[in-house]
Protein backbone atom coordinates (compact mmCIF):
# COMPACT_ATOMS: atom_id res chain seq x y z
CA UNK A 1 0.00 0.00 0.00
CA UNK A 2 1.42 3.37 -1.05
CA UNK A 3 0.97 6.12 1.53
CA UNK A 4 0.03 9.43 -0.07
CA UNK A 5 1.64 12.39 1.65
CA UNK A 6 -0.63 15.06 3.10
CA UNK A 7 0.45 17.68 0.57
CA UNK A 8 -0.01 15.31 -2.36
CA UNK A 9 -3.64 14.61 -1.49
CA UNK A 10 -6.27 16.53 -3.38
CA UNK A 11 -7.52 19.54 -1.42
CA UNK A 12 -11.19 19.28 -0.53
CA UNK A 13 -12.40 22.74 -1.51
CA UNK A 14 -16.15 22.90 -2.20
CA UNK A 15 -17.41 25.47 -4.66
CA UNK A 16 -19.64 27.05 -2.00
CA UNK A 17 -17.90 26.76 1.35
CA UNK A 18 -19.99 26.90 4.41
CA UNK A 19 -22.00 29.72 5.92
CA UNK A 20 -20.53 32.95 4.60
CA UNK A 21 -18.54 34.75 7.30
CA UNK A 22 -16.90 38.02 6.37
CA UNK A 23 -14.73 40.38 8.37
CA UNK A 24 -16.55 43.08 10.30
CA UNK A 25 -19.85 41.24 10.69
CA UNK A 26 -19.27 39.60 14.07
CA UNK A 27 -18.50 36.20 12.58
CA UNK A 28 -16.58 33.47 14.38
CA UNK A 29 -14.03 31.12 12.85
CA UNK A 30 -13.63 27.78 14.62
CA UNK A 31 -10.25 26.24 13.78
CA UNK A 32 -9.93 22.47 14.19
CA UNK A 33 -6.42 21.00 13.74
CA UNK A 34 -6.48 17.29 12.89
CA UNK A 35 -3.77 14.71 13.35
CA UNK A 36 -4.65 11.00 13.43
CA UNK A 37 -7.70 11.19 15.73
CA UNK A 38 -10.45 10.73 13.20
CA UNK A 39 -12.55 8.66 15.62
CA UNK A 40 -13.37 11.86 17.56
CA UNK A 41 -13.41 14.36 14.70
CA UNK A 42 -17.07 13.98 13.76
CA UNK A 43 -18.23 14.71 17.30
CA UNK A 44 -16.06 17.84 17.39
CA UNK A 45 -17.47 19.09 14.07
CA UNK A 46 -21.07 18.24 14.98
CA UNK A 47 -20.72 20.30 18.16
CA UNK A 48 -19.81 23.34 16.05
CA UNK A 49 -22.64 22.80 13.56
CA UNK A 50 -25.10 22.65 16.46
CA UNK A 51 -24.12 26.07 17.80
CA UNK A 52 -26.91 28.54 18.53
CA UNK A 53 -24.76 31.39 17.17
CA UNK A 54 -25.46 31.72 13.43
CA UNK A 55 -22.30 33.33 12.03
CA UNK A 56 -19.71 30.57 12.18
CA UNK A 57 -17.23 29.18 9.69
CA UNK A 58 -15.26 25.99 10.32
CA UNK A 59 -11.72 25.51 9.09
CA UNK A 60 -10.33 22.00 9.52
CA UNK A 61 -6.54 21.94 9.25
CA UNK A 62 -4.99 18.62 8.21
CA UNK A 63 -1.62 18.89 9.98
CA UNK A 64 0.08 16.33 7.75
CA UNK A 65 -1.95 13.52 9.28
CA UNK A 66 -1.12 9.99 8.02
CA UNK A 67 -4.87 9.31 8.32
CA UNK A 68 -6.69 11.38 5.71
CA UNK A 69 -9.59 13.38 7.26
CA UNK A 70 -11.15 14.15 3.85
CA UNK A 71 -13.69 11.27 3.91
CA UNK A 72 -15.09 12.64 7.17
CA UNK A 73 -15.13 16.25 5.95
CA UNK A 74 -16.62 15.44 2.55
CA UNK A 75 -19.64 13.84 4.22
CA UNK A 76 -20.65 17.32 5.42
CA UNK A 77 -20.91 18.78 1.92
CA UNK A 78 -20.27 22.52 1.77
CA UNK A 79 -20.47 23.33 5.46
CA UNK A 80 -16.74 23.73 6.16
CA UNK A 81 -13.29 24.11 4.65
CA UNK A 82 -10.49 21.56 4.76
CA UNK A 83 -6.99 22.84 4.22
CA UNK A 84 -3.73 20.90 4.33
CA UNK A 85 -0.19 21.59 5.48
CA UNK A 86 2.96 19.61 6.35
CA UNK A 87 3.05 18.36 9.91
CA UNK A 88 4.28 21.06 12.27
CA UNK A 89 2.35 20.74 15.50
CA UNK A 90 -0.65 22.47 17.04
CA UNK A 91 0.81 25.99 17.04
CA UNK A 92 1.64 25.71 13.35
CA UNK A 93 -1.79 24.27 12.49
CA UNK A 94 -3.63 26.98 14.40
CA UNK A 95 -1.59 29.71 12.73
CA UNK A 96 -2.37 28.16 9.35
CA UNK A 97 -6.05 28.44 10.20
CA UNK A 98 -5.68 32.01 11.50
CA UNK A 99 -4.17 33.08 8.17
CA UNK A 100 -7.27 31.80 6.39
CA UNK A 101 -9.90 32.94 8.89
CA UNK A 102 -12.59 35.44 7.95
CA UNK A 103 -14.21 35.74 11.38
CA UNK A 104 -13.72 38.66 13.72
CA UNK A 105 -13.40 36.13 16.54
CA UNK A 106 -11.46 32.87 16.76
CA UNK A 107 -12.03 29.69 18.73
CA UNK A 108 -9.56 26.77 18.71
CA UNK A 109 -11.18 23.36 19.06
CA UNK A 110 -8.97 20.28 19.37
CA UNK A 111 -10.09 17.33 17.27
CA UNK A 112 -10.91 15.20 20.32
CA UNK A 113 -12.96 17.76 22.29
CA UNK A 114 -16.44 19.15 21.68
CA UNK A 115 -18.42 22.31 22.50
CA UNK A 116 -21.62 22.92 24.39
CA UNK A 117 -24.40 24.06 21.99
CA UNK A 118 -24.43 27.67 23.24
CA UNK A 119 -20.66 27.99 23.71
CA UNK A 120 -19.97 30.49 20.93
CA UNK A 121 -23.05 32.58 21.67
CA UNK A 122 -22.16 32.71 25.37
CA UNK A 123 -18.58 33.83 24.72
CA UNK A 124 -19.49 36.35 21.99
CA UNK A 125 -22.15 37.93 24.22
CA UNK A 126 -19.65 38.14 27.08
CA UNK A 127 -17.21 40.07 24.91
CA UNK A 128 -19.90 42.32 23.48
CA UNK A 129 -21.15 43.08 26.97
CA UNK A 130 -17.67 44.02 28.21
CA UNK A 131 -15.90 47.34 28.00
CA UNK A 132 -13.60 46.70 25.06
CA UNK A 133 -12.69 43.13 25.97
CA UNK A 134 -10.75 41.14 23.37
CA UNK A 135 -10.76 37.66 24.92
CA UNK A 136 -13.22 35.67 26.97
CA UNK A 137 -12.89 32.30 28.69
CA UNK A 138 -15.40 29.85 30.14
CA UNK A 139 -15.12 26.46 31.83
CA UNK A 140 -15.02 22.82 30.71
CA UNK A 141 -15.99 19.40 31.96
CA UNK A 142 -14.05 16.15 31.58
CA UNK A 143 -15.56 13.36 29.48
CA UNK A 144 -14.30 9.84 28.87
CA UNK A 145 -13.23 8.32 25.56
CA UNK A 146 -16.89 7.72 24.66
CA UNK A 147 -17.79 11.35 25.35
CA UNK A 148 -19.65 10.61 28.59
CA UNK A 149 -19.22 12.92 31.61
CA UNK A 150 -16.78 11.65 34.22
CA UNK A 151 -18.16 13.91 36.94
CA UNK A 152 -14.90 15.85 37.07
CA UNK A 153 -15.02 19.53 36.12
CA UNK A 154 -12.63 22.37 35.44
CA UNK A 155 -11.49 23.16 38.96
CA UNK A 156 -9.75 26.50 38.42
CA UNK A 157 -11.74 29.65 39.15
CA UNK A 158 -11.03 33.05 37.65
CA UNK A 159 -12.81 36.38 37.46
CA UNK A 160 -12.91 39.11 34.85
CA UNK A 161 -10.02 41.53 34.97
CA UNK A 162 -6.24 41.28 35.20
CA UNK A 163 -5.21 37.61 35.45
CA UNK A 164 -1.58 38.11 34.43
CA UNK A 165 -0.04 37.27 37.80
CA UNK A 166 -2.15 34.14 38.24
CA UNK A 167 -1.29 32.99 34.72
CA UNK A 168 2.39 32.91 35.69
CA UNK A 169 1.63 30.03 38.06
CA UNK A 170 -0.96 28.15 36.04
CA UNK A 171 -2.64 27.97 32.64
CA UNK A 172 -6.02 28.95 34.06
CA UNK A 173 -7.95 28.09 30.92
CA UNK A 174 -6.72 24.49 30.71
CA UNK A 175 -8.39 23.65 27.38
CA UNK A 176 -7.98 26.00 24.36
CA UNK A 177 -11.62 25.52 23.37
CA UNK A 178 -12.91 27.55 26.33
CA UNK A 179 -11.37 30.73 24.90
CA UNK A 180 -12.83 33.11 22.31
CA UNK A 181 -10.42 35.81 21.13
CA UNK A 182 -10.55 38.66 18.66
CA UNK A 183 -8.61 37.81 15.52
CA UNK A 184 -6.87 41.18 15.43
CA UNK A 185 -5.68 40.80 19.04
CA UNK A 186 -4.07 37.41 18.46
CA UNK A 187 -2.46 38.60 15.24
CA UNK A 188 -1.05 41.65 17.04
CA UNK A 189 0.76 39.26 19.40
CA UNK A 190 2.30 37.37 16.47
CA UNK A 191 -0.03 34.34 16.70
CA UNK A 192 1.13 31.08 18.31
CA UNK A 193 4.86 30.52 18.78
CA UNK A 194 5.63 27.59 16.47
CA UNK A 195 8.83 26.73 18.35
CA UNK A 196 6.61 25.36 21.13
CA UNK A 197 5.48 21.84 20.30
CA UNK A 198 3.84 21.72 23.76
CA UNK A 199 2.44 24.44 26.05
CA UNK A 200 1.78 26.68 23.04
CA UNK A 201 -1.64 27.67 24.41
CA UNK A 202 -0.25 28.72 27.82
CA UNK A 203 2.37 30.78 25.99
CA UNK A 204 -0.35 32.57 23.99
CA UNK A 205 -2.76 33.16 26.88
CA UNK A 206 0.06 34.44 29.09
CA UNK A 207 0.97 36.94 26.37
CA UNK A 208 -2.70 37.88 26.04
CA UNK A 209 -3.04 38.32 29.81
CA UNK A 210 -0.03 40.64 29.88
CA UNK A 211 -1.72 43.00 27.43
CA UNK A 212 -5.46 42.58 28.00
CA UNK A 213 -7.92 41.99 30.82
CA UNK A 214 -9.88 38.76 30.67
CA UNK A 215 -13.65 38.54 30.33
CA UNK A 216 -14.52 35.51 32.47
CA UNK A 217 -17.62 33.35 32.00
CA UNK A 218 -18.55 31.10 34.91
CA UNK A 219 -20.23 28.54 32.69
CA UNK A 220 -19.26 25.31 30.95
CA UNK A 221 -18.68 25.91 27.26
CA UNK A 222 -16.57 22.89 26.29
CA UNK A 223 -15.84 19.24 27.03
CA UNK A 224 -12.32 17.89 27.41
CA UNK A 225 -11.94 14.25 26.42
CA UNK A 226 -9.66 11.97 28.45
CA UNK A 227 -8.34 9.02 26.44
CA UNK A 228 -5.29 6.86 25.80
CA UNK A 229 -3.72 9.04 23.10
CA UNK A 230 -2.84 11.87 25.47
CA UNK A 231 0.20 12.57 27.63
CA UNK A 232 1.76 9.48 29.15
CA UNK A 233 3.96 9.15 32.20
CA UNK A 234 7.06 9.01 30.02
CA UNK A 235 6.21 12.47 28.61
CA UNK A 236 5.98 14.28 31.95
CA UNK A 237 9.57 15.45 31.75
CA UNK A 238 9.06 16.82 28.25
CA UNK A 239 6.04 18.81 29.39
CA UNK A 240 8.05 20.22 32.30
CA UNK A 241 10.74 21.29 29.84
CA UNK A 242 8.25 23.23 27.70
CA UNK A 243 6.46 24.71 30.71
CA UNK A 244 9.79 26.10 31.93
CA UNK A 245 10.54 27.42 28.45
CA UNK A 246 7.26 29.33 28.49
CA UNK A 247 8.07 31.00 31.79
CA UNK A 248 11.66 31.81 30.81
CA UNK A 249 10.42 33.40 27.59
CA UNK A 250 7.90 35.58 29.40
CA UNK A 251 10.23 36.39 32.28
CA UNK A 252 12.39 38.26 29.79
CA UNK A 253 9.50 40.64 29.02
CA UNK A 254 7.67 40.62 32.33
CA UNK A 255 5.84 43.64 33.63
CA UNK A 256 8.00 45.89 35.78
CA UNK A 257 8.78 44.35 39.16
CA UNK A 258 7.29 40.94 38.30
CA UNK A 259 10.34 39.04 37.03
CA UNK A 260 10.81 37.30 40.38
CA UNK A 261 7.33 35.80 40.17
CA UNK A 262 8.44 33.79 37.15
CA UNK A 263 11.27 32.27 39.19
CA UNK A 264 8.71 31.20 41.79
CA UNK A 265 6.50 29.92 38.99
CA UNK A 266 9.31 27.66 37.81
CA UNK A 267 9.66 26.45 41.39
CA UNK A 268 5.98 25.54 41.44
CA UNK A 269 6.46 23.55 38.22
CA UNK A 270 9.24 21.53 39.87
CA UNK A 271 6.98 21.00 42.89
CA UNK A 272 4.13 19.60 40.78
CA UNK A 273 6.46 17.41 38.77
CA UNK A 274 8.03 16.11 41.98
CA UNK A 275 4.60 15.27 43.37
CA UNK A 276 3.78 13.32 40.22
CA UNK A 277 7.03 11.40 40.45
CA UNK A 278 6.35 10.64 44.10
CA UNK A 279 2.89 9.26 43.33
CA UNK A 280 4.48 7.10 40.62
CA UNK A 281 6.89 5.64 43.17
CA UNK A 282 9.99 7.47 41.88
CA UNK A 283 10.91 8.91 45.27
CA UNK A 284 14.56 9.75 44.61
CA UNK A 285 13.67 11.72 41.48
CA UNK A 286 10.83 13.41 43.37
CA UNK A 287 13.22 14.66 46.07
CA UNK A 288 15.47 16.17 43.41
CA UNK A 289 12.52 18.10 41.96
CA UNK A 290 11.39 19.30 45.40
CA UNK A 291 14.89 20.63 46.05
CA UNK A 292 14.66 22.56 42.77
CA UNK A 293 11.31 23.93 43.93
CA UNK A 294 12.74 24.98 47.28
CA UNK A 295 15.67 26.74 45.62
CA UNK A 296 13.24 28.93 43.67
CA UNK A 297 10.83 29.68 46.49
CA UNK A 298 8.16 27.29 45.30
CA UNK A 299 8.30 25.09 48.42
CA UNK A 300 9.69 25.61 51.91
CA UNK A 301 9.18 24.90 55.59
CA UNK A 302 6.82 22.16 56.76
CA UNK A 303 5.46 21.24 53.30
CA UNK A 304 9.02 20.54 52.14
CA UNK A 305 10.00 18.63 55.29
CA UNK A 306 6.81 16.56 55.17
CA UNK A 307 7.37 15.58 51.55
CA UNK A 308 11.00 14.67 52.15
CA UNK A 309 10.07 12.52 55.15
CA UNK A 310 7.26 10.67 53.37
CA UNK A 311 9.50 9.97 50.39
CA UNK A 312 11.85 7.98 52.66
CA UNK A 313 9.10 5.45 53.32
CA UNK A 314 9.42 2.47 50.93
CA UNK A 315 7.06 2.74 47.97
CA UNK A 316 5.53 -0.68 48.67
CA UNK A 317 4.43 0.58 52.11
CA UNK A 318 2.94 3.84 50.82
CA UNK A 319 1.07 1.94 48.12
CA UNK A 320 -0.53 -0.36 50.70
CA UNK A 321 -1.44 2.64 52.88
CA UNK A 322 -3.14 4.36 49.92
CA UNK A 323 -5.13 1.22 49.15
CA UNK A 324 -6.22 0.95 52.79
CA UNK A 325 -7.27 4.59 52.79
CA UNK A 326 -9.36 4.09 49.68
CA UNK A 327 -10.94 0.97 51.16
CA UNK A 328 -11.92 2.84 54.35
CA UNK A 329 -13.56 5.56 52.27
- The 10 Å CB-count burial string (b at 16+, else e) for 125-150 is ebbeebeebbbbbbbbbbbeeeeeee
pLDDT of residue 20: 65
What is the structure's pLDDT at 79?
86
DSSP characters for 13-29? Answer: --SS-SS---TTTT-EE
* Number of residues that this document lists for the chain: 329
pTM score:
0.87
The last residue of one of the domains, among 179, 194, 225, is 225
Same domain, 158 and 288: no
User: Do residues 40 and 188 share a domain?
Assistant: yes
Q: Are residues 135 and 256 in the same domain?
A: no
Statement to judge: residues 203 and 261 lie in one domain = no
How much is the pLDDT for 234? Answer: 62
Q: Looking at the structure, do residues 192 and 290 belong to the same domain, yes or no?
A: no
Whether 114 and 194 map to the same domain: the answer is: yes
Domain that holds residue 160: 6-225
Which pLDDT score, from 0 to 100, does residue 196 have? 95
**Residue 168 and residue 258 share a domain:** no
pLDDT of residue 78: 85
What is the pLDDT, as a whole number, of residue 318? 59
Query: Looking at the 3D structure of the chain, how many domains does it have?
Result: 2
Is residue 260 located within the same domain as residue 241?
yes
Q: What is the pLDDT of residue 302?
A: 64
Helices 200-211 and 90-99: angle between axes, nearest 10 degrees: 60
Count of CB atoms within 10 A of residue 268's CB?
19
Question: Mean pLDDT in runs of 10 for the chain (329 residues)?
Answer: 42 45 87 94 97 96 94 90 95 97 97 97 97 96 93 93 97 96 97 96 98 97 84 74 96 95 94 89 90 82 78 69 49
Q: Which of 191, 225, 259 is the last residue of a domain?
A: 225
Co-location of 214 and 154 in the same domain: yes
Answer yes or no: do 75 and 143 share one domain.
yes
Do 101 and 246 belong to one domain? no
What is the predicted pLDDT for the residue at 315?
A: 64
Find the CATH number of the domain harbouring 133. Answer: 3.90.550.10
- Alpha-carbon distance 217 to 126, whole Å? 7
Residue 222 near residue 178 (C-beta atoms within 8 A): yes
- 211 lies in the same domain as 274: no
Whole-number pLDDT of residue 317: 61
Residue 1 domain-assigned (yes or no): no
Burial code (b: 16+ CB inside 10 Å, e: under 16) for 178-215 equals bbbbbbebbeebebbbbebebbbbbbbbbbbbbebbbb
Q: Which of 209, 225, 241 is the last residue of a domain?
A: 225
Amino acid sequence: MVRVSAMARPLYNPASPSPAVTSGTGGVTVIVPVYNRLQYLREAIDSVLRQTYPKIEIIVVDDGSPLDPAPVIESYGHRMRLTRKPNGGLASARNWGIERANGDYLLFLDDDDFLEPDAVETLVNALRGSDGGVWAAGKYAYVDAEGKPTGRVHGVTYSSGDVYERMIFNNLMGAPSVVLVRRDAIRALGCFDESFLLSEDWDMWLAMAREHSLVAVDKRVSNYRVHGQQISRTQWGRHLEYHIRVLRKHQAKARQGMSGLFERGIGVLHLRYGDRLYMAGEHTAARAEWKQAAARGGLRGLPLSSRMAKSRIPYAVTRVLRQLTLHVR
